Amino acid sequence: MSTPWIACYWSFHQRLRFPGVKVLVIGGGAREHALCRSLSQDPAVTALHCAPGNAGIAQVATVHPVDQLDGTAVTALARELSADLVVVGPEAPLVAGVADPLRAAGIPVFGPSAEAAQLEGSKAFAKDVMAGAGVPTARSYVCTTVEEAAAALDAFGAPYVVKDDGLAAGKGVVVTSDREAALAHAASCERVVIEEYLDGPEVSLFAITDGTTVLPLVPAQDFKRALDGDEGPNTGGMGAYSPLPWAPEGLVQEVLDTVLQPTVDELRRRGTPFSGLLYAGLALTSRGTRVIEFNARFGDPETQVVLARLETPLAGVLLAAANGTLAELEPLRWSDGAAVTVVLASEGYPAAPRTGDPIEGLAEAEADGTAFVLHAGTRLGEDGAVLTAGGRVLSVTATGGDLAEARAKAYRGVERIAFKGAQHRTDIALKAAR
């Protein structure tokens, strides 16, 4: 038999045996909407489900009202759907160990085990891994008493950086020059990490890994503070853009060599291999690149812009990570253009978000291909109206030939949307687009 004949027979056979990929995404924010949107555009995906999802995700996937923190329920759903791949989006289910029963059931899952997710779940654990792997990060102390915290604050001096050790949805970090405020935050947490202040611009770099091979994605920058000019409290993120025209050449390779690969190798060496998405939050300081934090999942809102630029169909990439075959994957393809996302948040976010208000203008924002709207905190009301249902409500995203064009389109989309008390930053990607 000639080689082409074998190849043809094999591909026919494969198609019969693997008619397509059925995917279940866990989560219900704009990150999961971005993942679902990309997966829905992948011709290999024949069925797309999401639990619990939201009003926007329901337009591209079948949603299921399953508790995302309940590993037994998620595994039962994956079995019922005959899912070929489960993608766990948020940190809470990962840290709660939702990936573990899925793996035990033999279902390919994109996302780390509970043990490996401690890289995000405990800042003290992350610091220990970094020390073991020789990864550059801020010097730090782990403190459990106010006396220890006071001593650590004085050792580093202002500005003070105080981080709740556990998960806090991006809101457990206080950076301040007010010693009293720093100490008060430390006192309100059971265990804190107090560390030296890192100056310099921040970069988010994601990598997909199967525990051995590490595939970096394109860098992005997010905007953590609530108000323009980086004022106001820390939030889960108010917007993002990619690429970063100001980033030094060779940054991705440097971070791969000095941060991502050593961390993945160290976790494997410790017997807690990390498979899924490794997120490095970096500061480009005057003394070199330093890790601010690791996350164990796609970042929100950076995912919205990174996936908007990814041209390689997503399902095969996530499946290769889940199956341990990333080394065999072809290099990822990216658009040369830019993407910008602007978060529309509800009144009172992040302290006390107001919910339940109808959202107007969703279709108008997407008209003429200006932007696409990814839902974060939304739900369908009884009359079918889309209502606000969380602090971050929408992520209005656009692509363009360059950042200026993508930014203009994203803000044009934002202007068409209205709900009571809506707030957003007006300076997302502004400096970089100039």
Pick from 395, 221, 404, 399: which is nearest to 310 by CA?
399
Q: Which residues within the stretch 240-279 sit at the binding site for ligand AMP (CB under 6 A)?
A: none
> Which single residue is written with the structure tokens 């992350």?
126
Residue 293 in the binding site for ligand AMP (CB under 6 A) = yes
Q: Which of 281, 301, 350, 390 binds ligand AMP (CB under 6 A)?
A: 281
Structure tokens at 307: 């996936």
Residue 175 in the binding site for ligand AMP (CB under 6 A) = yes
Nearer of residues 161 and 359 to ligand AMP, judged by Cβ:
161
Q: Which residues within the stretch 28-57 sit at the binding site for ligand AMP (CB under 6 A)?
A: none
Nearer of residues 202 and 415 to ligand AMP, judged by Cβ:
202
- Sequence-distant (6+) residues with CB within 8 A of 77 are 24, 49, 51, 64, 66, 83
Query: Which value, in Å, is the radius of gyration of the alpha carbons in the chain?
Result: 21
Nearer of residues 103 and 171 to ligand AMP, judged by Cβ:
171
Q: Which of 112, 170, 216, 413 binds ligand AMP (CB under 6 A)?
A: 170
Q: Which SS3 state, helix, strand or coil, does residue 313 take?
A: coil
Rounded to the nearest whole angstrom, what is the least distance from the CB of residue 107 to ligand AMP in the complex? 31
Strand partners, 398: 340
Rounded to the nearest whole angstrom, what is the least distance from the CB of residue 322 to ligand AMP in the complex? 26
Q: Where are the beta strands (DSSP E) in 33-155?
A: 45-52, 62-63, 85-88, 109-110, 140-143
Nearer of residues 138 and 317 to ligand AMP, judged by Cβ:
138
Residue 173 in the binding site for ligand AMP (CB under 6 A) = yes
Tell me how far CA of residue 258 lies from CA of 59, 132, 133, 263, in angstroms.
Answer: 41, 13, 9, 9
| 268 close to 59: Cβ distance less than 8 angstroms | no
Residue 84 in the binding site for ligand AMP (CB under 6 A) = no
Dihedral (Cα; 194, 197, 202, 207), 10-degree rounding: -40
Binding mask 129-168 for ligand AMP (x = CB under 6 A): ---------x----------------------x-x-----
Residue 292 in the binding site for ligand AMP (CB under 6 A) = yes
Rounded to the nearest whole angstrom, what is the least distance from the CB of residue 251 to ligand AMP in the complex? 17
Q: Which residues within the stretch 187-246 sit at the binding site for ligand AMP (CB under 6 A)?
A: 195, 197-198, 202, 224, 234
Nearer of residues 41 and 177 to ligand AMP, judged by Cβ:
177
Pick from 303, 173, 281, 298: which is nearest to 234 by CA?
173
Q: Which SS3 state, helix, strand or coil, does residue 51 take?
A: strand
**Interface residues with ligand AMP (CB under 6 A)?**
138, 161, 163, 170, 173, 175, 195, 197-198, 202, 224, 234, 281, 292-293
